[in-house]
Chain A
Amino acid sequence: GESVGLHLPTLSVQEGDNSIINCAYSNSASDYFIWYKQESGKGPQFIIDIRSNMDKRQGQRVTVLLNKTVKHLSLQIAATQPGDSAVYFCAERNAGGTSYGKLTFGQGTILTVHP
């Protein structure tokens, strides 16, 4: 999962394996949780989001799970490919007031996929 400090969590997998990236969030009042992918030298790219009243959402090869009891979010990538190698960020969306819609990002997890 995400952690404080200079060293990002890392996950190394073999091509074809399933990957699970974890994130602990802090704000119970967030109304959406989002996953972004950042490839080396590029800006982050949206992957998938989940509303706070849901516990699971599936996309193409990705599934996001939300456990509000323990404030935990995970991203599952099926049949991981070398092109999935990147840093993955979770983000919380602020639910109200003047900060509505703003995102707070976690520190990221490095995923490395070996051929």
Chain B
Amino acid sequence: DAGITQSPRHKVTETGTPVTLRCHQTENHRYMYWYRQDPGHGLRLIHYSYGVKDTDKGEVSDGYSVSRSKTEDFLLTLESATSSQTSVYFCAIKSGRGDNEQFFGPGTRLTVL
């Protein structure tokens, strides 16, 4: 599993509430990514990080923020959850900028009612 965990694994919340998902890695990889996976859309990049305190937006970043205060943790926050953010969220890590092999976590299933 490349030492990557996600928490929580499942969450049900209500519209308008804040939600934070955590990605934790134990292998000191520099690059970390948050994706969402929805039927018909495959995996879409939300935000990514290329080092501590270094983050950037992906293709579907609206409504999401991230933080990386230490190498091992990458947090994804939905400031005010909406039903359109119901999805499965995957975290991924890789060592080098030129690497193609991203290691994915087990995913978090989020339902916003």
A residues in contact (CB < 8 Å) with B: 4-8, 32, 34, 41-46, 49, 89, 93, 98, 100-108
B residues in contact (CB < 8 Å) with A: 31, 35, 39-45, 48, 56, 58-59, 90, 92, 97-107
A100 surroundings in chain B (CB, below 8 A)? 97
B92 to chain A: closest residue by CB? A43
What 12 additional pairs, Cβ within 8 angstroms, besides A6-B40, A46-B101?
Answer: A4-B40, A8-B40, A32-B100, A41-B107, A42-B104, A46-B103, A89-B42, A101-B31, A102-B58, A103-B102, A105-B35, A105-B42
CB contacts between A and B, total, < 8 Å: 57
B44 to chain A: closest residue by CB? A105
> Contacts A43-B90, A43-B107, A98-B56: A106 and B42 contacting too (C-beta < 8 A)?
yes
- Give the 7 A-B residue pairs with the shortest CB-CB distance, closest first: A43-B104, A46-B101, A6-B40, A105-B43, A107-B42, A105-B42, A49-B100
B107 to chain A: closest residue by CB? A43
Contact yes or no, B100 A107, CB < 8 A: no
